[in-house]
Amino acid sequence: MVTEDRETQIVQAAELIAEVGQTVVFTGAGVSTESGIPDFRSPGGLWSRFDQADFTIDRYIASPQARQKHWRFLMAGGLFKNCEPNAAHRAIAELEALGLLDCIITQNIDNLHQKAGNVPERVFELHGNMRWIRCLDCGNRFPLEEILDQSGASAEAPPCMHCGGILKPDVIFFGEALPEEILEEATRRAIRCELMIVVGSSLVVYPAAYMPAYAKQSGAKLVIVNLTPTPADEMADLVIHGSAGEVMGRLVAEVRRRFPGSA
The answer on 28 and 54 residing in a single domain is no
The answer on 13 and 115 residing in a single domain is yes
Question: In terms of residue numbers, what domain contains 44?
Answer: 38-78+128-171
Please tell me the predicted confidence (pLDDT) of residue 45: 52
> Which one is catalytic: 113, 127, 162, 241?
127
Domain end position, chosen among 156, 171, 186: 171
The answer on 23 and 146 residing in a single domain is no
Is residue 127 part of the annotated active site? The answer reads yes
The answer on 134 and 66 residing in a single domain is yes
d(C-alpha 191, C-alpha 213), whole Å: 9
Contact 84, 105 (CB under 8 A): no
The answer on 233 and 252 residing in a single domain is yes
The answer on 115 and 42 residing in a single domain is no
Q: Does the reported pTM lie above 0.85?
A: yes
The CATH number of whichever domain residue 108 belongs to comes to 3.40.50.1220
Domain end position, chosen among 171, 204, 230: 171
Per-residue pLDDT of the chain (263 residues), as tens digits, is 345 699 999 999 999 999 998 999 999 999 999 998 876 555 555 555 566 676 789 988 998 888 887 777 666 555 566 789 999 999 999 999 999 999 999 999 999 999 999 999 999 999 999 889 999 999 999 998 888 777 665 556 788 989 999 999 899 988 899 999 999 999 999 999 999 999 999 999 999 999 999 999 999 999 999 999 999 999 999 999 999 999 999 999 999 887 665 54
The answer on 23 and 111 residing in a single domain is yes
The CATH number of whichever domain residue 53 belongs to comes to 3.30.1600.10
The answer on 258 and 223 residing in a single domain is yes
Q: Could you report the per-residue pLDDT of 62-108, keeping only the tens digit for each?
A: 988 888 877 776 665 555 667 899 999 999 999 999 999 999 999 99
Number of structural domains found in the chain? 2
The answer on 196 and 74 residing in a single domain is no
The answer on 161 and 182 residing in a single domain is no
Domain end position, chosen among 118, 149, 171: 171
d(C-alpha 250, C-alpha 254), whole Å: 6
The answer on 234 and 248 residing in a single domain is yes
The answer on 161 and 50 residing in a single domain is yes
